[in-house]
Structure 1
């Protein structure tokens, strides 16, 4: 009876596929791009194999810089891993092309709803949520105390009315210290400013940011923090080094650093001063955080669907993702495992409530669509010129939008 129940669970998980059940044996390959989180998966799969002795899971780490190029090549040649990490910008292409297996699982009620929504396309779910992040405001306690700034109560406004953030950023910018990490950081800064001003980045799969006045207004405010107000590091530094603002913060040269929980470890290990986490900046539309998540997807070319289904079901369980949470790596995609992550950081003296509050509030989706990644890359090369002051905001956004939409049509 237990074998029959297990087999039924696998068929439900891979319900979109017509398959002939195989024995619960074999090797399943699992690919991701993060070496640190790979350690958590090694621990997770060791526990999995104890419960499923006929299945071995091999973890492959492919660096982010090569990840999507290699995946495209492997999918084209039929050598893709059985299970793979994917993000919102890239899964749509493979889902639409039939390279992924749709997922139906009774456990999904226990998965983070926002991540489930991100990976739902065409009425089907294409990945098992693994981790998620939102945005909050890291702050240097010494610097904000010296300037008399309350980081938990900062509002920006392009019209100037009720803007408490800009005066605070000015007060915090002294000597070789900058007030805020205004930069072309899509997830941590740019899209959050757009959302907090009531703007939009996409309509369906199409990019529409240049056509939305609230988006243009938000980008202009952000760019002016760099070029006009000088309360943020020069764009020449931050566009060539994506880690520059993180480095400045851990060096004590940046007072306010708006970003996600993915930088918790770097700040905890690198900062020699007391720091805390406050709610992200509020705009005219309130606090609107980008929500993003990573999911585990199944390759349609897997030669062992039964074992792959068992692995996916494990990854959709609290037990499967608990090492990610207990190791302090990320908020897990299974809500039952979430307390383990907050408990880890509580032991380090870090309160994660601002991230949790952001997730429960109004959120702004990361770009989606079959070629959202290509569109975002194309737009980024033009937006760099905007942040550098080489192109005006309105003209630059028009050019960036055109480049993005051309890229998704190729």
Structure 2
């Protein structure tokens, strides 16, 4: 049974009126979001002159390395942006403050957030974060290449996919794959060993999530990660996932995509910007990056409709969490509560970088993006399609490592998907028993 701390009326009054002295260290990984949160911090500090917010930003890999090091050394930030794939291990190791008492005390309305975003950050009656934003996946297309190939926006918006013949998605990919003489992969004159532009590029192995890489294809074909969040009985050995991974591997074998080693070396985003590939899958958090970096006509389109007759996408929601080692938990809570409020999330919406968690603000972000010449409505279409959570379970780092090796072995031609995934799934289930 959960025991709640007793907050006396005198203490409650003090908490509501005193100016807290102290510095709150806050960390995030997305540089595109930094200006919005700097503004939120400035607004918050104006309302709470006794609290100083110091924001640190670092890239994705460095972010999690620094966070892990900070937990061990006792120097982790008070508040940090958290990810669904990471937080189960933090919960297991008692690194996250349970916010439920604060939420109840301050009457924070969980219903203000888009459906499902609040609940996924809770377990066993405890709450480990307040929602900050959400993301889905879509495909980004070089429209100059599409026009030259005779591919229309309507065709791109209504692509279908299946693992047997690739559906209309593969037909479009073939039209967009060009050799050095300008012949596409539909032409008898196509020279497969002389490709200058690939029609499509899978970003990588995708480890346990396949967020941008394969999950949308697999789920639209009938795959599911787990029966429920926190369930250790994974289904990575399903035939639907195996056929998806084999299909994606075949694109490189047939010279419609670059091979795995080249992709890892160059990066699919850089390949798209350099006009080496015509279509890539990416997340909504990258909208601003491509708007600033891709100096040609491009367009976001929804993911293809799969064999189950639906589009499918990972629906991922980030949250802000408090480290249990923080010496300023009350002040940290005030900052987290502000980050999860309409006051801060409206500022984020006006920047048009990501889709805020509070209902209605994603639509405002889309309006802002349209003002910058970007049509990001494909992501909202995906949010209203079949959505699924990333896998949520203990031992996430180990699961990711096992799946990364398994899928890489398929993409490198060292194993069939059925063999690699069956072996990986056995290891994962054993790990979570």
**Shared fold (TM-score greater than 0.5)?**
yes
Which has a greater percent of helix? 1
- TM-score calculated relative to the size of structure 2: 0.83
Distance 1:301 1:375 in 2: 27
Distance 2:376 2:94 in 1: 39
Equivalent residues of 2:32, 2:288 under 8 A apart: no
Flag the 1:56–1:383 CA change in 2: closer, same or farther, 3 A.
same
- Counterpart residue number, 1:177: 197
**2:160 maps to which of 151, 155, 180:** 155
Unaligned segments of structure 2, at least 5 residues: 180-195
Instruction: Report the RMSD for the aligned CA atoms in angstroms.
Output: 2.4
CA deviation after TM superposition for structure 1 residue 407, in Å? 6.0
**2:39 maps to which of 31, 36, 43:** 43
- Counterpart residue number, 2:113: 111
Distance 1:354 1:123 in 2: 35
Distance 1:114 1:81 in 2: 27
- Is 1:268 aligned to residue 264 of structure 2? no
Distance 1:246 1:18 in 2: 52
Between 177-186 and 358-367, the greater mean CA deviation after superposition: 177-186
CA deviation after TM superposition for structure 1 residue 408, in Å? 5.8
Flag the 1:273–1:71 CA change in 2: closer, same or farther, 3 A.
closer
CA deviation after TM superposition for structure 1 residue 75, in Å? 2.6
Deviations 1:342-384 (A, max 9, x none): 1221112212211012112211221212322331133212311
Distance 2:331 2:58 in 1: 22
- Counterpart residue number, 1:56: 52
Flag the 1:30–1:138 CA change in 2: closer, same or farther, 3 A.
same
Distance 1:17 1:282 in 2: 50
- Counterpart residue number, 1:222: 248
Deviations 1:163-219 (A, max 9, x none): 211222111111211111234342112111111111022344436344312221222
- Counterpart residue number, 2:269: 246
CA deviation after TM superposition for structure 1 residue 123, in Å? 3.7
User: Superposition pairs for residues 8-27 of structure 1, below 5 Å?
Assistant: 23-26=18-21, 27=23
SS in 2 for 1:85: strand
- Counterpart residue number, 1:67: 63
**1:206 maps to which of 232, 236, 258:** 232
**1:137 maps to which of 139, 148, 165:** 139
Flag the 1:337–1:279 CA change in 2: closer, same or farther, 3 A.
same
- Counterpart residue number, 1:10: none
- TM-score calculated relative to the size of structure 1: 0.88
- Is 1:166 aligned to residue 186 of structure 2? no
How many residues align? The count is 391
Flag the 1:256–1:405 CA change in 2: closer, same or farther, 3 A.
same
CA deviation after TM superposition for structure 1 residue 280, in Å? 0.8
Equivalent residues of 1:89, 1:370 under 8 A apart: no
Unaligned segments of structure 1, at least 5 residues: 1-14
Equivalent residues of 1:376, 1:404 under 8 A apart: no
- Is 1:307 aligned to residue 331 of structure 2? yes
Distance 2:4 2:338 in 1: 18
Equivalent residues of 2:88, 2:392 under 8 A apart: yes
Distance 1:141 1:236 in 2: 27
**2:350 maps to which of 326, 333, 350:** 326
SS in 1 for 2:315: strand
